[in-house]
A and B are shown apart, each in its own frame.
Chain A
Amino acid sequence: MSPNESSEQSRLLRGAHRTLTGLHPALESLLAALVGLLVGAILMYIYGFDPWKAYMGLVKGAFGGSYEIASSLARATPLILTALTFSICLRAGMFNIGAEGQMYMGGIASVVVACFALPTGLHQIAGLLFAAFAGAVWSLVPAFLKLTRGVHEVISTIMFNWIARWLALYLAIYVIVDPMRPEKTLSIPMSARFPVLVRGTDLSYTIFVAIAFALVIYFILWHTAIGYEVRAAGLNPTAARYGGIRNKRTMFLSFVLGGVAAGLAGATIVMGLPPTYAIYGGGGLPQLMNLGFDGMAVAMVGRNHPIGILAAAVFFGGLNAGGRVMQFYGSNPVPLEMVRVVMGAIVLVMSIPELIRLFPMIKKQGGRLIERLRRITRRTERGESA
C-alpha cells in the first residue's frame, strides 16, 4: 500500500472511530425509543389491536405528507422550549420540574400583552418578551428559595406548578376572559399573531422562535464563558470553585434561562396556534396541559443537548401528530392515548443508566468493533511512519 493510500485510510478509520464513540448517547436514545415502541406494540397486541397497522398509521400521520410534517413540527414547537427548561437546569446540576407552571404564566402574559395596541412586529416581540419575563419570574422564586434557604427545587417547582395552574385558571376564567365565549380568554389581535407557515396547517412562525432559542442556548452553553461556568458547576462544583466559578450565580442564571424558555413555550401556544390564539380555561387549560412534563421526556431523549432536543422534539411531536391520525386509521384504530404510553415507557427505559450495559452482547460486539477499528488505525499509522 502506498503511503498516501494508507494515511487516507487511517484518517477515515479515525473519523469512523470518533463518530461511533460520539454517537454512543444517541444510540442509547434510539434504543430506548425502540424499547418504548416495543412496549406499546405488546400492549396493543394484548388488547387485540394490530401494532403494525397502528405504527403505519402513526408514521403516516407524522411524516406522510407536507400537512402531516407541518402538524408534527407544530406539536414539536412548545416541546423544544419546555425541554430546554429542564435541560438547561439539569446542565447546571438542578432539577427544574416547573416548566409546566412557568409556561402557564408565559401564556397568560402573552394574552395580557395582546390587550394593548401595538403595531405588528413590535406586538409579537412584546408578547414574547412579556412571556419570557413571566416565565423567568416564576422560576426565580424557587431558585431564590434554593439559594437562600436550601429548599429542594423539585418540591418548590412542583408547588409552583400547582399555584400557577390555579392562578392561570382564575385569570383565564375571570379576568382576561372573552365576554362572548367565556370558555376561553380573549383572543389576541391579528397584530400579535404569528403568521401561519404552511397554509392550512397549524404550524406558524413560532417554530423559528423555538429553533432560534435552542440555537441561542447552544451558543451560550458551549461558546461563552458564562455557559462554560454553568456546565462546569453542574458537572463538578468543587472543581468549578477551584476554577474561580461562583456556583450560586450560575445556578441562579440557569433557572432564569429555564424560566424564559418555558415562558416562551406558553407564548408559542397563544400566539402561534390557530384558530383561536387564546387559552381555553375550562378543563384545566387543555392546550397547555402536560406540555411541561412531555418536555422533560423530550429533554431526556435528546440527551439534554439543544441539537438532540430539536431532534427528539420532532420525534415526540411526530408521535403526537401521528397519534391523531392513528386513531382513525384502519378498521380497528388505536386510540391516541397509546402515544403517551409509549412516551412513558421510553422515559422509564432512559432512566436506566448505561442501558447498553444491560445488553452485554451488544456492548461486547460494539466494543470489539471499536477495538478492531482502533487496532487497524494504529497499524496503518505505523505503516505510514515505516
Chain B
Amino acid sequence: MSEQSALSRDRFFLKADRITKIYSDGTVALKEASLEVRPYEIVGLLGENGAGKTTLTKILSGLLPPTRGRVISPKGPIRFSSPREALDFGIGMVHQHFALVGTFTAAENVALSHDRPFTRVRIAETQQALESLMEESGLRVPLDVPIEKLAVGEQQRVEILKVLSRDVELLILDEPTSVLTPLEVDELFELLRRLREEGKSIILITHKLKEVGSVTDRVVVLRHGEMVGDVKTSEASTEQLASLMVGQALEEEADAVELSTEEIPHKRERKPIDRSGDGVLHVRDLVVNGNTGEIAVDGVSFDVYAGEIFGIAGVEGNGQSELVESLTGLRVPISGTATIHGANILGIDPRQIYRLGVAHIPEDRWELGLVLPFTLAENAILGVHRWEEFRGPLTFLRWGKINRHVRELMDRFDIQATGPNAPARSLSGGNQQKLIVGRELAKDPAIIVASQPTRGLDIGAAHYIRKTLLDMRDKGCAILLVSADLDEVLAHADRVGIMYEGRFMDVCTPDELDRKRVGMLMGGAKSKEGE
C-alpha cells in the first residue's frame, strides 16, 4: 500500500514547508515551521507546552488543515482532507489521548480502520494478523479484552499496533512515554530502533531531553510556533538543547519592550522575607492521584511565606495541576498535610477554603474560572456569592452592591467591557483574566494560588497581571505561582521549585539557577553535580 518502499537513505519521505496555523480564536500555533522527514531516521520534536509540536503533527497526519504553507511529498504537494487519507498515504499517528474505542477489544479497534464496510468482520483473521505483528514488533497485548480494562501502557501498545497494522512509513508518537514505566520505555525505544532499521521514519514528540538523547538521530526544536533548531543529536549537547527549548532571558526581552525599571521584577525594591516558622501555606509529603489512578504528585513538601512568591516551574503534565487542585478543594489527595495558617485545607469544600483566605486563579479560565454565558457581574461573585456583603436575607442577592463592586473592579483593573451586564464571553482573554484576578484579589486573601495566570494572553495583559501579583506580594500576600512559562517564574519568584514527574527536582532561588540548568531539570536530567 505505501508508495515509498524503494527510497534510498538520501531521499525524503515528507516535508512540511513553511506551515503556519492560526486557530479560529486567533491563536497562532505555528509560524512558518518547516520540517523534513527522512526514512531510516528517528526525529525528536522538542519543545515546551504551546510550542506547536502537536499542531504540526496533526497537520501532517490529516487532522487539521494548515492556514498557510504546504505538505510536500517527493511527487509534489499533497493535501490530506481526513486522517484516513493520511493513513492511506502511509502516515500514522499515536495520539497522546488514544483514539481507541474503550468498549472494543484490541482486535476490534484494529479492524475498525480496515476497508469494506458490509463484510463480516473477520475477527479471527485480524487476530491472527495481529499475532504475527506482535511477534515481529515485540509488543504483547491481550487481544480479546476490552480496551478500557487494560492498563494504560497496554492501551498505548494497542494504539501503536493499530497504526503498525496499516503498514505506515511514517510513525508519529505524541509524548508516548508519559504513561509508561521505565522498563516499558526501554521496550518502546527498542521497537522504534527496529522500525528505523526497516526504513521507516519516526517522529517522536517529547519534552524530555533524556529521551531525545537516547533514541533520536536528529532533533528539531520548536518554540512559540517557530522552528529554532534542527541539529543532529550526536552534535548537540543537552545544555544546547535546553537553551534552545527555553529561549532568551526575560531581561533581554524586556529591553526590547522598553519597560521601566519599576516593572522589571528583579530590580524592584524588596522587603526582607520572614521565613521563621511555617509558611502561610505549609505542605508536607503530599501525595495525589491523577485521573487514571496513577500517582501525579509524589510526596511534595514546601512552604510559602507571607510576602514571597514561590514559583513552581516545569512542563505541564508533571503533577502541577493535580497539586493545585488538591490545595483548592477540587481534588482529594491520598496522603499528606497542607494547612493555611495552621488550618487544614485538604479534602474540604472550595467555599470553606476561600474563607480561610485562599484565592485561586485557575489554569483554565473557560472551564474553571468563568461561567462564560454569565455576565461580568455574575462571574465576579463566583465563589463569594454567599458572602455577607453580597447577600441579603433568604439568600437574596444585592445586585446594587454587586454592580458597584464590579464597576470598581473594572476601574481598578482596567477591564474593557460594555458594562457589568456584558456576557463574559464577549471579553478578550486578557480582560477575562483580569476579571478573574480582580475577583480573587477582592477576597483580600492571605495566599494567592495562581496557575498559568498569563497563558494565552497578549504581552500587555500578561505584564499587567504580573505587576498585580507583584503588588500583592509587596503588600504581604503569599503567592504560589505555577507556570510552564519559565521566564515568568524565574523573573518573579523568590524561590523556585522545579517539578518533574510529581516531585521537586530542586528548590532554590533564581540566582542559583541559570537557564541551562533549569531547562535540564525541567527535562528530567540531573545537574552535573547531582549526576
The listed residue (B328, B354, B362, B396) touching A223 by CB distance below 8 A is B396
A206-248, CB under 8 A of B: which get 1 and which 0?
Answer: 0000000000000000011110110110011011111110100
Find chain A residues with CB under 8 A from B374 CB: 231-232, 235
Once the chains bind, are A225 and B385 in contact (CB under 8 Å)? yes
Contact check, B396 vs A224: say whether CB atoms are below 8 A apart. yes
B360 part of interface (Cβ distance < 8 Å): yes
Which residue of B350, B391, B396, B399 contacts A241 across the interface (Cβ within 8 Å)? B350
**Measured CA separation A241–B397 after assembly (Å):** 19
Complex interface bits, B136-174 against A, C-beta within 8 A gives 1, otherwise 0: 000000000000000000000000000000000000000
Chain B residue with the shortest CB-CB distance to A374: B418
Return the contact of A232 from the options B328, B329, B367, B371 (Cβ within 8 A): B371
- CB within 8 Å for A226 and B395 given contacts A235-B373, A242-B382: yes
User: In the complex, which residues of chain A have a beta carbon less than 8 angstroms from the beta carbon of B378?
Assistant: 228, 232
Say yes or no for B1: interface residue by CB 8 A criterion: no
Give Cα distance in the complex from A266 to B4, angstroms: 73
Question: What residues on B are CB-neighbors of A229 within 8 Å?
Answer: 385
Task: Count A interface residues, CB 8 Å.
Answer: 20
* Cβ-defined partner of B382 (8 Å) among A224, A226, A243: A243
Q: Which of A223, A239, A241 has the most CB of B within 10 A?
A: A239
A309 to B386, CA, bound (A): 29
Q: How far is the CA of A236 from the CA of B367 in the complex (A)?
A: 7
B256 at the interface (CB under 8 A from A): no
Judging by beta carbons under 8 Å apart, are A223 and B399 in contact? yes
Contacts A243-B382, A243-B383, A244-B383 known; A223 to B397 CB distance under 8 Å?
yes
A242 and B381 CA atoms in complex are apart in Å by 12
Q: What B residues does A242 contact at CB under 8 A?
A: 328, 330, 350, 360, 362, 368-369, 382-383
List B contacts of A226 (CB < 8 A).
395
What is the CB-to-nearest-CB distance from A266 to chain B, in angstroms, rounded to a whole number? Answer: 28
Q: Is B63 an interface residue (CB 8 A)?
A: no
Contact with A along B326-364 (1 / 0, CB 8 A): 001110000000000000000001111010000010100
B397–A224 touching, CB < 8 Å:
yes
Pick the residue among A223, A225, A232, A244 that contacts B350 (CB under 8 A).
A244
B394, CB-defined interface residue at 8 Å: yes
A228 to B370, CA, bound (A): 14
Give A18 to B420 CA distance when docked, in angstroms. 13
Give every chain A residue within 8 A of B462 (Cβ-Cβ): none
CB of B185 within 8 Å of the partner chain: no
Residue on A with the closest CB to B362? A242
Return the chain B residue nearest A242 by Cβ: B368
Choose among B354, B390, B395 the residue that contacts A244 (Cβ–Cβ < 8 A). B354
Judge whether A239 and B369 touch: CB under 8 Å. Answer: yes
Q: Is the CB of A243 within 8 A of B350?
A: yes
Does chain A have a CB within 8 A of B372? Answer: yes
Q: Are the CB atoms of A238 and B367 closer together than 8 Å?
A: yes
Complex Cα distance, B386 from A242, in Å, reads 14
* Bound form: Cα–Cα A232–B397 in Å: 14
Query: Which chain B positions have C-beta within 8 A of A244?
Result: 329, 349-352, 354, 383, 386
User: Closest Cβ of chain B: how far from A15's Cβ, in Å?
Assistant: 11
How many whole Å from A227's CB to the nearest CB in chain B? 8
Task: Report if A239-B397 is in contact (Cβ < 8 Å); known contacts: A228-B378, A244-B350, A244-B351.
Answer: no
Q: How distant is A87 from chain B, measured CB to nearest CB, in Å?
A: 15
Q: How many positions in chain B have a CB within 8 Å of any CB in the partner chain?
A: 32
Which residues from chain B contact A224 at a C-beta distance below 8 Å? 394-397
CB distance from B164 to the nearest CB of A (A): 37
Mark out the residues of chain A between 239 and 291 whose CB falls within 8 Å of any chain B CB in the assembled complex: 239-244, 246
B359 to chain A, nearest CB (A): 12
A145 to chain B, nearest CB (A): 24
A225 CB contact (under 8 Å) in B368, B395, B418? B395
Within the assembled complex, what's the spacing in Å between the Cα atoms of A228 and B379? 10
Looking at the assembled complex, report how far the CB atom of B399 sits from the nearest CB atom of chain A, in whole angstroms: 7
How close is A90's CB to chain B, nearest CB, in angstroms? Answer: 13
State the Cβ distance, A254 to closest chain B Cβ, in Å.
15
Inter-chain CA distance A339–B367, complex, in Å, is 43
User: Taking CB as reference atom, which chain A residue is nearest B399?
Assistant: A223
Q: Does B351 lie within 8 Å of A239, measured CB to CB?
A: no
A246 proximity list for chain B (CB < 8 A): 349
B382 and A239: CB pair below 8 A? yes
Give the chain B neighbours of A239 by CB distance below 8 A.
367-371, 382
Q: What is the CA–CA distance of A226 and B368 in the complex, to the nearest angstrom? A: 20
Between A229, A231, A243, the greatest number of chain B beta carbons within 10 A of the residue's beta carbon is seen for A243
- Chain A residues, Cβ within 8 Å of B394: 224
Contacts of A241 in B (CB 8 A): 330, 350
Q: Which residues does chain A contribute within 8 Å of B372, judged by CB atoms? A: 235-236
Residue from B329, B371, B382 having most chain A Cβ neighbours under 10 A = B371
Closest CB in chain B relative to A66 CB, distance in Å: 38
CB nearest neighbor in B for A225: B395
Q: How far is the CB of B330 from chain A (nearest CB, A)?
A: 7
Give B350's nearest chain A residue, CB to CB: A244
B385 is contacted by which of A18, A236, A238, A243 (Cβ under 8 Å)?
A243
Q: In the complex, what residues of A have CB within 8 A of residue B370's CB?
A: 236, 239
CB distance from B323 to the nearest CB of A (A): 16
Asked if A225 contacts B330 (CB within 8 A), the reply is: no
Chain B residues contacting A225 (CB-CB under 8 Å) are 385-386, 390-391, 395-397
Contact with B along A290-305 (1 / 0, CB 8 A): 0000000000000000
Which chain B residue lies CB-closest to A22?
A: B421
A226 to B373, CA, bound (A): 18
| Interface positions of A from 42 to 71, Cβ below 8 Å from B | none
Measured between beta carbons, the chain A residues less than 8 angstroms from B349 are: 244, 246
Rounded to whole angstroms, the CA-CA distance of A199 and B394 in the bound complex is 39
Per the bound structure, the CA–CA distance linking A228 and B391 in Å amounts to 12
Residue numbers in B under 8 Å from A228 (CB-CB): 378, 381, 385, 397
Most buried by B among A18, A226, A236: A236
State in angstroms the CA–CA spacing of A98 and B386 once bound together: 32
Complex Cα–Cα for A231 and B418 (A): 23
Q: Which of B352, B354, B381, B418 has the largest count of A CB atoms less than 10 A from its CB? A: B418
A228 to B367, CA, bound (A): 18
Interface pair A238/B368, CB less than 8 Å apart: yes
- Shortest Cβ gap from A251 to chain B (Å): 16
Q: In the bound complex, what is the Cα–Cα distance between A236 and B369 (angstroms)?
A: 10
Cβ proximity bits B483-524 to A, threshold 8 Å, 1 near / 0 not: 000000000000000000000000000000000000000000
A24-51 vs B, Cβ < 8 Å mask (1 yes, 0 no):
0000000000000000000000000000
Q: How far is the CB of B173 from chain A (nearest CB, A)?
A: 30
Cα A228 to Cα B378 with chains together (Å): 8
Q: Please, which residues of chain A bring their CB within 8 A of the CB of B381? A: 228
- Bound: A224/B399 CA distance, A: 10
Choice from A14, A18, A223, A235 contacting B371 with Cβ under 8 Å: A235
Residues of A within 8 A of B329 (CB): 244
**Which A residues are in CB contact (< 8 Å) with B362?**
242
| CA distance in complex: A371, B312 (Å) | 44
Q: How far is the CA of A224 from the CA of B390 in the complex (A)?
A: 10
Q: Which 10 A-B residue pairings sit nearest by Cβ, starting from the closest? A: A244-B351, A225-B395, A243-B382, A244-B350, A243-B383, A236-B371, A224-B395, A242-B368, A225-B385, A235-B371
Pairs A–B under 8 Å by Cβ, sample size 23 = A14-B418, A18-B418, A223-B397, A224-B395, A224-B397, A225-B397, A228-B378, A228-B381, A229-B385, A232-B371, A232-B374, A235-B372, A235-B374, A238-B368, A239-B368, A240-B371, A242-B330, A242-B382, A243-B383, A244-B350, A244-B352, A244-B386, A246-B349
Residues of B within 8 A of A (CB): 328-330, 349-352, 354, 360, 362, 367-374, 378, 381-383, 385-386, 390-391, 394-397, 399, 418
19 other A-B residue contacts (CB within 8 Å) besides A232-B378, A236-B370: A224-B394, A224-B395, A225-B397, A229-B385, A231-B374, A232-B371, A235-B371, A235-B372, A235-B374, A236-B367, A236-B371, A239-B369, A239-B371, A240-B371, A241-B330, A242-B368, A244-B354, A244-B383, A246-B349
